[in-house]
Amino acid sequence: MEYRLRSIDAQLDELLTYESAVAIDGPKGVGKTETARRRAGHSWHLDDEAERAVVQADPKFEGAPAGTLLLDEWQHYPPIWDSVRRRVDEGAPPARFLLTGSASPAPGNGTHSGAGRITSVRMRPMALHERGAEDPAVSLSEMLRGKADQPSGESVLSASDYYTAITQSGFPGICTLPPQGAQRRLEAYLRRIVDKEMPDQGYAVRRPETLRCWLTAYAAASSQTASYSSILDSTTSGDGYQPAKTTTIAYRDQLTQLRLLDPVPAWSPALNSPFKWLQFAPKHQLADPGLAAHLLGLTAQDLGGSKGAAMAGHLFESLATLSVRVIAEAMDARVGHLRTKAGRQEVDLIVEAFDGSVVGVEVKLSAHVTDEHVKHLRWLREQMPDRVSDVMVLYSGKHAYRRSDGVAVVPLSLLGD
């Protein structure tokens, strides 16, 4: 399969000019190994017992080939993290180590964080602009710098095309499959998480059906700030069993370590803020909206009909969130959401650069944008006129343009780096 250029590629190329060790983390199947392999002279796959034994026998890499070494699925041999950190301390050259992993180290295993020695970057499933559906015409990075004057361009995607993009997922090995094949792969993916990945993390799932019910309830809360107690209340397996709160906390922690859960944190401004009453609950998101749709039993046709109407807007926001986060990660920007405690003001996504500049983003599954859709963006700009570099509505319509009030209106498919 032909390699598709990812937003993270440019970020990695820059980091490897001066960093000795870079770790790429993210859920299984997002393309970490292939992206890293293109930059490595030699690779060891630590989920392979024979290759793991080679690394165990030479923890100082004294016999390792020169050039960039890829340590794939490093979490299968956690001591390797500290070995790499020590080599960096000893003066390893730039681009010496690439580490990829589908899970963070289990708490309490003694592994050093690597802060200051190993730079970590997050890789997510493919954003819409990485899938090649359309050529992006609007740059989020330019908006963050306040240089996006007049957005322009016309999208050829319809609402049904977005529903297909949601259900096909952004996993490189799945998104090009026919719909039925994609659903089979997504089911196999979820089963592997329960049967293999969670036990590998030291957590054996005693009741897989109950975990599946909890994940389904979590998927139903996509793009919402529902409390975990309300998600628990929605979790009942076929035999009427409801798990204890401690059990669902364990589910949440394990699935977060595996990067299957990817909630959007509440935004807390890095610099002095005029906001005094903000909510701090996260917005729930799975790693990929295709997983959420699959858990809920929703096809692309369902999302366009009465069966999926209640979730269509939430999953469209999940797709938009994935795209914005992929772009923001490559710019070293952070993404959160804003909601006041009274709930009077909400902004779906806040993108904040290192210098404190902000882009506010609303997401609307709509062919047209109205004054009602932009009122919270205008409020945000009024609150922080010196920091808000731009505001934008991502929507399912056709044309990119700027409204007379200064709000950019951009089809989701036209948003790029």
CATH code at position 107: 3.40.50.300
Judgement on whether residues 81 and 172 belong to the same structural domain of the protein: no
Confidence band for 105, pLDDT divided at 50, 70 and 90? low
Judgement on whether residues 145 and 268 belong to the same structural domain of the protein: yes
Q: What are phi and psi of 37, to 5 degrees?
A: -60, -30
Domain boundary among 55, 90, 122: 122
In this predicted model, what pLDDT tens digit does every residue of 307-341 receive, in sequence order? 999 999 999 999 999 999 999 999 999 999 999 88
CA distances from 200 to 11, 50, 73, 131, 360 (A): 30, 18, 12, 31, 40
pLDDT at 181 over 70: yes
The answer to whether residue 193 sits within a structural domain is: no
Judgement on whether residues 113 and 19 belong to the same structural domain of the protein: yes
Judgement on whether residues 320 and 401 belong to the same structural domain of the protein: yes
> What local confidence, expressed as pLDDT, does residue 106 receive?
54
The total of other beta-carbon atoms located within 10 Å of residue 288's CB is 29
> What local confidence, expressed as pLDDT, does residue 328 receive?
97
In what helix (H) or strand (E) does residue 330 lie, and over which residues does it extend? Answer: helix 309-330
CB 234 within 8 A of CB 220: yes
Give the ranges where 173-233 is alpha helix by DSSP (H).
Answer: 179-192, 198-200, 208-220, 228-233
Judgement on whether residues 412 and 362 belong to the same structural domain of the protein: yes
> What local confidence, expressed as pLDDT, does residue 114 receive?
52
pLDDT at 237 over 90: no
In this predicted model, what pLDDT tens digit does every residue of 368-398 receive, in sequence order? 999 999 999 999 999 999 999 999 999 999 9
Judgement on whether residues 276 and 358 belong to the same structural domain of the protein: yes
pLDDT at 356 over 60: yes
> What local confidence, expressed as pLDDT, does residue 241 receive?
79
> What local confidence, expressed as pLDDT, does residue 104 receive?
64
Give me 343's structure tokens. Answer: 């709930």
Q: Is the backbone of residue 406 left (phi > 0), alpha (psi -120 to 50) or beta?
A: left
pLDDT at 112 over 60: no
Judgement on whether residues 292 and 307 belong to the same structural domain of the protein: yes
The answer to whether residue 187 sits within a structural domain is: no
Please state the pTM of the whole predicted model.
0.94
Judgement on whether residues 100 and 150 belong to the same structural domain of the protein: no
Q: Which residues are CB-contacts of 50 (< 8 A; sequence separation ≥ 6)?
A: none
First to last CA, the chain: 24
The answer to whether residue 337 sits within a structural domain is: yes
The answer to whether residue 242 sits within a structural domain is: no
Task: Give the count of domains, the chain.
Answer: 2
Q: C-alpha 41: how far from its chain's center?
A: 28
pLDDT at 346 over 90: yes
In this predicted model, what pLDDT tens digit does every residue of 202-221 receive, in sequence order? 898 999 999 999 999 999 99
The answer to whether residue 331 sits within a structural domain is: yes
The answer to whether residue 183 sits within a structural domain is: no
pLDDT at 113 over 60: no
In this predicted model, what pLDDT tens digit does every residue of 8-65 receive, in sequence order? 999 999 999 999 999 999 999 999 999 999 999 999 999 999 999 999 999 999 999 9
Percent of the chain with pLDDT over 90: 85
Domain that holds residue 142: 128-176+263-416
What is the β-pairing status of strands 97-101 and 69-72? parallel
> What local confidence, expressed as pLDDT, does residue 258 receive?
94
The total of other beta-carbon atoms located within 10 Å of residue 317's CB is 27
Judgement on whether residues 368 and 343 belong to the same structural domain of the protein: yes
Judgement on whether residues 62 and 165 belong to the same structural domain of the protein: no
Q: Is the backbone of residue 348 left (phi > 0), alpha (psi -120 to 50) or beta?
A: alpha
